[in-house]
Amino acid sequence: MISKIPKAVTAEHEALHAELVRLTLLRGKVGETARTVATLLHPHFTKEEEFALPPLGLLIEVADGRVKPEMKDVLPMIDKLRAELPRMLEEHKLVLGALRRLAGAAKQEKKPEAARFAEALKVHALTEEQVLYPAALLVGECIRARLGK
């Protein structure tokens, strides 16, 4: 069973990506710093979409106790998330540093939309660290426990 990333998560990723692309097209320090953020963020989002977020598509079923044998197919994703999590958290630190620089450039160049984006992406990263990644790991643990894997 291949799980899909919940729509709420993909919608947020798409909105953040679209705004970042818009900011990368700007001239000056804001555009330059946004391009740095994009360079750091793209491979990170790719990892998330590959193995960190798809298990969340099973969260409601698992929480309702509806674990099915075919859900074991997400366990390799969970294992990869567990193995890659320290690196992903380090990537967040790099992105957050770039976002601080973006917020500073936004203030200097009087571009409040860039500062709002930097803050929104910071909150998104915290949500991943404090909610989404742990929830994905718990999905895996519940599936393992109920299927005896």
What is the band of 3 on the pLDDT scale with cuts at 50, 70, 90? confident
**Could you tell me if residue 2 is inside a domain?**
no
Domains in the chain, number? 1
Q: Using a CB cutoff of 8 Å and minimum separation of 24, what contacts does 7-12 make?
A: 9/53, 9/56, 9/132, 12/124
**Could you tell me if residue 66 is inside a domain?**
yes
59-106 tens-digit pLDDT: 999 999 999 999 999 999 999 999 999 999 999 999 999 999 999 999
Distance linking the first and last C-alpha atoms of the chain: 16
Q: Decide: helix, strand or coil at residue 116.
A: helix
Q: Are 16 and 124 in contact (CB under 8 A)?
A: yes
Domain enclosing residue 86, as ranges: 7-147
Can you give the pLDDT at residue 149? 67
Angle ∠(25,28,14) on CA atoms, nearest 5 = 30
117-132 tens-digit pLDDT: 999 999 999 999 999 9
12-30 tens-digit pLDDT: 999 999 999 999 999 999 9
